Every structure is written in structure tokens, then in C-alpha cells.
A and B are shown apart, each in its own frame.
Chain A
Amino acid sequence: MRPSRLNKPWPVPVQVGPDGAPSAVGRLAVESVREEWLVEDGWWTQRPLRRRYFELVLEDGSDVVVFREPDTGRWYRQRD
């Protein structure tokens, strides 16, 4: 068996508000944005990594972390 990574991100449908922040994740509306941060890594390589993370509180009270890849525009959810 080869080593496999933990905490891999998975795609998730996210609706975005006028300010660019998520307004809903799946069917659940976003109650509040707790934190927002940018991760840039490997910019000196052929495969740079750039993600804008959001820590959100959804309407059911759950706390989730999602990020958007600016290059592709795709949204992912991830455990932090």
C-alpha cells in the first residue's frame, strides 16, 4: 500500500455574495464569516499553490472551512 494523504479537499458547491465571500455552502446559508486568509506556496515551482480560505458558520450552527482556487475558480471544502 502506498502512503495516502489525510485531510484531502473535496469539491463543494458554493454560492458567492457580491463581496466575493461565500453566501451559501450546498443548501445551507452562511450565517457569518469567522476568518479569511490566503495561502500561497510553491510559487517558485512549476506547480504553484494559491488558495483563499474562509472559515464559515452555517445556518445549522456548523463550522466549516472552504477555499477557492483563484486560477480555476473552483471551491473545495477541507478539514482544518
Chain B
Amino acid sequence: MPVTVALIPRFRLIAALGGPSSGAGGAHPLLGRPAALAPEPGAAQLIGEVSAPAEKLGLRSGMRLGEALSRCPELALVPPDPERAERSWEEALRRLEGIGAEIESTRPGEAFFEAGGLTGLWGGIEGVLKAARHELGASTCFGAGPSRFCAYAAAKTSGGLVSEGAAREFLDPLPVSLLCGRLGDKEEADDLPNELERLGISTLGRLAGLPRDAVADRFGRLGLRARRLARGEDEPLRPRPMREAIAVELELPEAVTGLQLERALELLISRLLTHPERRGRALRALCLSARLAAGGGWRCRVALRRASANGLRLADALLPHLGRLPAPAATLRLEAMSLGPETGEQLSLASPDEERRQRISEAVRQTRSAAGPDSVLRVLEVDPDSHVPERREVLMPFPEERPV
């Protein structure tokens, strides 16, 4: 079953510049000169995706901002817009799912799917690629191969299809720099290809030929993963579950912060709960995003500990995240990322206070049975204003309620 990848290079950079059609001649003028995504507010000072001229100057995604500016002082920094990038990519993925593909995508601009099951539908692998290109646009690079990394390497280099038995032969002459960004999100994952190059291991073939034990000794788990990828081995794809788009958006009349923004979020929560497509289901994970008045966007994913359709509980979970908004918002959007069971919430007959007391009593019973009767005590104030310190408080056994 060949793995197929669809790559749209610099997707996040293009999205931050307003999308592919924002420039007069199609591409944004900044893409023609050294440019990079600026670090996100509050995150590590690392640049994001870089334009082609910046790449030629040796800049790459994940490089420290100071190093990037010293290599290229004229580098233009573009404020990131994760909200626009995620939303545009989500639309693209839905179009791709429309041709029947089950997609794995961990970052905007990159989607993997098994093409094997679609060849009958579209008349072979070429037909599948043609249908996918039709949905994603002509600027998309495609590659197919027996593993995820092999397909990625094919898309990044020559394009086309690598057959089942030819993976090693195809990968061997390729540079180890292709492993950048393929080994995980940690900083040392991006450093590994550079370290390999410094040691003279410049091609994937040389890495694949090293003894497993030697690689494990020198580079640990990351090295072993890199070696497996270089040998054309990889884990199977994990396609994302199909999900509905239930989202509500509010355009704010003027850039607002603070209390007004909280009211706007409460309104969005009410709208989401009355959304007809929710059909009585509880919400399990939400995505709160905003377009900022000064340009750019912000996005935050919130997973609830328990699926809920209670407005107050949702507000409790979401409101603290508004404090992380880096600038006043022009629009606020709330999206249901994952839905719970249709039965909704199982309400308790007891009041919240009563329920809390019962849970504490149960915890006290369990602790005493495990650690002895004196293990749970409470401090009782007897004479808090006394001049004699030992008269102020006493230690009492914690009262335990008997189950009814």
C-alpha cells in the first residue's frame, strides 16, 4: 500500500502573509526576498518557516532568531498567524478527504494518506494524485513510497512514485538534512542531522549502513529513529478521525480586551451549545481562536477533563485562556474539535456541595482504611486570638459521614 504525501511548501508563511492570492501577481512580494515567520508571542525565540531566498542563505525553520539575523540582517520577520494557517489547512484537508483519503496530518501544509485503497476509484495512483492535485492546487508537491519518510523524500526531491523494493536504493544518495523536522519536535531532533553531517555522515545511505548498536551508543533513541527512517522503515499511518465542523464566530465591533472579551466568549459558548449540528452531544475538546486587530492570529486548543454541555463549566475552562491573548482581538471563534456522547451529561441528584462532601468523606474513609484511624485530622480553631500559642488550635479527627 503506497503512502502518499501532499506538501505545500511554506504553507504557514504564505498563510501569515494573507494567503496565496494576496499579492498582485499571485505570490506575495515578501516571498521573493529573505523572510521568515517571527517567533510566536511567549514562545522560544526561534524563527518559523522561511522563504526560498532565505533558505538559500542557510536559514531554516527552528533556527534561533539571533543566529538568523546575524546570518541575514535584512531578514523580514512576518508575524505568525496560526489561526489562519490552521483554518486554511483544515479546509484543504476536508477537500482532500472528499476524494476518499484517510489523512494523517501533524502540521499545516503536510498530509499523508494511503493511496492503495483509492486506486480503484480514481484509475491508479496517477489518478489519485491528479484528483488530490485538483483539490489542493497546482503548487502542491506530491510523492509516494512504501513509507511515510520515503514519500516525503520523494516529494521534496524528484517527486513521483518510489516502488516497494526500491526504497533503499532511492534514499541512499539523499542528504541527511532531509531528516530535519522528521524526528520530532524537540530541539535536539533538528540538531541531529547537523551533527551527522559534521561527523561526515552526509547521506542517508551512510547512516543506514552504520551498525545499530553504534548508532544507539552515540545518538540514543533519536539516532535509532533516524537510522530506521534512512532504511525506509516507518510506523504505519494513523489517520485522523472524521469530524464535523461545528464552529461559531463573532466579529467584534472594535478591538476589545478584558471584560468585554469575556462577555463575547460567553456569547459564543451559548451559540455553540445551541448549534443545531451539535444534536445534544457534549463537548470534549474545543479550539478558541482569534484574529488580532493589529494583524496575525492566535489559537488555543482546550481539552475538557470530562465532556460537558454545561455553559458555566465550559466558561470556567475557556476564560482563563483569554488572558494569553497577545493583543486585542477583532474576531473571536470557538470550534468544537471533539464531541462526547449523545446522551449528554449525567446529572447528579445531589447538589454540588452535597456531592463534594460525599466525595471528601469517601476519600477520608479510604485513607483511614489504608493508613490508620489517625491519618486524617483537621485543625480546629479554639481561641485564635489567645496570647498563648498552644491555646489557639487543636487537632481533631476529621468527621466522616456514613453512607446512606
Residue numbers of A with Cβ under 8 A of B are 1, 3-9, 39, 41, 49, 51, 78-80
1/0 per residue, CB under 8 A from A, across B352-392: the answer is 00000000000000000000011001011000000111111
Decide if B393 is an interface residue (CB 8 Å cutoff).
yes
> CB distance B396 to A3 under 8 Å?
yes
Query: Residue A7 contacts which of B373, B374, B377, B392 (CB distance < 8 angstroms)?
Result: B392
**What is the CB-to-nearest-CB distance from B400 to chain A, in angstroms, rounded to a whole number?**
12
> CB distance A6 to B379 under 8 Å?
yes
Decide if B397 is an interface residue (CB 8 Å cutoff).
yes
Complex CA gap A3/B396 in Å reads: 5
Query: Residue B395 contacts which of A6, A39, A49, A79 (CB distance < 8 angstroms)?
Result: A6
Query: Residue B394 contacts which of A3, A9, A41, A49 (CB distance < 8 angstroms)?
Result: A3
Question: Given A1-B374, A3-B380, are A49 and B388 neighbors across the interface (CB < 8 Å)?
Answer: yes
1/0 per residue, CB under 8 A from A, across B32-55: the answer is 000000000000000000000000
**What is the CB-to-nearest-CB distance from B398 to chain A, in angstroms, rounded to a whole number?**
10
Given the complex, which residues of B lie within 8 Å of A3, measured CB to CB? 380, 394-396
Q: Give the total of B residues in contact with A, Cβ under 8 Å.
A: 16
**What is the CB-to-nearest-CB distance from B357 to chain A, in angstroms, rounded to a whole number?**
21
Residue numbers of B with Cβ under 8 A of A are 373-374, 377, 379-380, 387-397
**What is the CB-to-nearest-CB distance from A43 to chain B, in angstroms, rounded to a whole number?**
13
> CB distance B390 to A9 under 8 Å?
yes
Given the complex, which residues of B lie within 8 Å of A4, measured CB to CB? 394-395
Question: Given A1-B373, A1-B374, A1-B397, are A6 and B388 neighbors across the interface (CB < 8 Å)?
Answer: no
Least CB separation from B397: chain A residue: A1
Query: Residue A6 contacts which of B373, B392, B397 (CB distance < 8 angstroms)?
Result: B392
Question: Given A1-B397, A6-B395, are A78 and B374 neighbors across the interface (CB < 8 Å)?
Answer: no
- Of B373, B374, B389, most A-chain CB atoms within 10 Å: B389
**What is the CB-to-nearest-CB distance from A63 to chain B, in angstroms, rounded to a whole number?**
15
> CB distance A41 to B387 under 8 Å?
yes
Question: Given A1-B373, A1-B374, are A6 and B393 neighbors across the interface (CB < 8 Å)?
Answer: yes
> CB distance A7 to B395 under 8 Å?
no
Question: Given A1-B374, A3-B380, are A80 and B396 neighbors across the interface (CB < 8 Å)?
Answer: no
> CB distance B389 to A80 under 8 Å?
yes
> CB distance A6 to B390 under 8 Å?
yes
- Of B373, B387, B394, B396, most A-chain CB atoms within 10 Å: B387
Complex CA gap A47/B393 in Å reads: 21
**What is the CB-to-nearest-CB distance from B393 to chain A, in angstroms, rounded to a whole number?**
5
Complex CA gap A70/B390 in Å reads: 19
> CB distance B390 to A5 under 8 Å?
yes
Question: Given A1-B373, A1-B374, are A7 and B393 neighbors across the interface (CB < 8 Å)?
Answer: yes
Question: Given A1-B397, A7-B393, are A39 and B379 neighbors across the interface (CB < 8 Å)?
Answer: no
Complex CA gap A34/B244 in Å reads: 69
